[in-house]
Amino acid sequence: DAKDFGDEGANTLLSCSKSPYFAMPNMRNLGYFNIEGMELDLTGENSLGEEKSKANSKADSFKGAVCRLREASAGKDTTIGHWEIAGINSDKPLPTYPNGFPDDIIRDIKGITCRGVLCNKPYSGTEVINDYGDEHMRTGDLIVYTSADSVLQIAAHEDKVPVDKLYSYCEKVRELLQGEHGVGRVIARPFIGTSGKYVRTSNRHDFSIKPPKNTMLDKLQDKGYETLAVGKIFDIFAGQGISDYVRTTSNEDGINKTLEMMDREFEGLCFINLVDYDMIYGHRRDRDGYAKALSYFDERLPEILGKMQDEDILMITADHGCDPDFKGTDHTRECVPFLMYGNPIPSNTNLGTKDSFTYVADTVLEYFDIV
């Protein structure tokens, strides 16, 4: 149904495979390229002078099970995608604001923060701070903007609005935006720098709307299992159903934190989000950067596999596409991969295509024998 979302022809992995930096031999061994409908561009050589097909072709045999997942929910944003992975299909999309936020919302934000508002339109996050940063520094007014996603973002220079104060503003705006205007996320976007050289910091913080009903995380907790979160997961679920969490600053940090979690003695689920693919490369339409990030994960994958215990299962999937070659800067409506590996998973198992991301939650709960 990509056409219904204006995304006909989008194919994130195909675009990344065109880069000479794309190489995923370890994911290949898990059956990544055997997934139904997989398309790759393997012409030419990679950055090492090798045939691209050497590391990226379909495997004659592979470890574990794979399938393709179609999104069932009416949306393609981070919140909707993660909710569906966790077991919730959303019939209605979260609200978006292609023309900016209504006057009454802007008036309320001014009242809550006792500050003026700049911008109020869809904008690139890296461009908006440089286009409005000087005026923000002069006036102290907040830079409020959105995107094609269901988000309200507030940017402020850390020297003008301390990070904790910005978080406080966003918490209050999150409380304000409910019901009809219940956006998926209110996002604090601190930045630093000087005129013409403003840059965002890693102090981003998301204030998400709570899931409308229990997810696999709640169901696991109810049965006494631990639910650990790495990266944006705690923020995406507004903390609901999560027993412990760590935030991350990059994919590298996320992988390192995941390995640290694997050293813990726990029985339950560790849910990880590696955000760089989307935030740094997908939205900025950086094909080579995206390919390098995928290849970096592939290089680190053996470390994760090496720490797995006999009863562990590794699951790898995505919450949406973000084709670095596609028009615009938004997410793209696509099917996503789902890979499973571990002693309990039979090898060389291709499960075809499933009609919802909720297949992930169903599989997790089945493993823990939770109905």
**pLDDT tens string 126-175:** 999 999 999 999 999 999 999 988 999 999 999 999 999 999 999 999 99
103-208 to CATH, choices 3.40.50.720, 3.40.50.360, 3.30.70.1250, 2.60.200.20: 3.30.70.1250
- Work out whether strand 226-230 and strand 205-208 pair parallel, antiparallel, or are unpaired: unpaired
Q: What is the pLDDT of residues 55-77, one digit of tens each?
A: 899 999 999 999 999 999 998 99
Span 301-305, average pLDDT: 99
Residue 115's pLDDT band, with cuts at 50, 70 and 90, is very high
Residue 50: phi and psi, rounded to 5, are -100, 155
pLDDT attached to residue 26: 97
pLDDT attached to residue 203: 92
Give the rounded distance of the alpha carbon of 346 from its chain centre: 28
Residue 52's pLDDT band, with cuts at 50, 70 and 90, is confident
The residue ranges of every structural domain in the chain are: 2-91+211-367, 103-208
Structure tokens at 233: 């997961």
- What lies within 8 Å, CB to CB, of 245 at 6+ separation is 228, 229, 230, 233, 234, 239
Q: How far apart are CA 184 and CA 151, in angstroms?
A: 6
pLDDT attached to residue 367: 97
- What lies within 8 Å, CB to CB, of 62 at 6+ separation is 28, 29, 30, 31, 34, 347, 348
pLDDT attached to residue 321: 97
Q: How far apart are CA 110 and CA 145, in angstroms?
A: 14
Is the confidence at residue 332, as pLDDT, over 90? yes
pLDDT attached to residue 282: 95
The count of residues in the chain is: 371
Could you tell me which CATH number the domain at 2-91+211-367 has?
3.40.720.10
SS (H, E, C) 191-206: EECCCCCCEECCCCEE
Is the confidence at residue 187, as pLDDT, over 80? yes
- On the question of a common fold for 2-91+211-367 and 103-208, the answer reads no
Residue 53's pLDDT band, with cuts at 50, 70 and 90, is confident
pLDDT attached to residue 42: 87
Report the chain's mean pLDDT, rounded to a whole number: 96
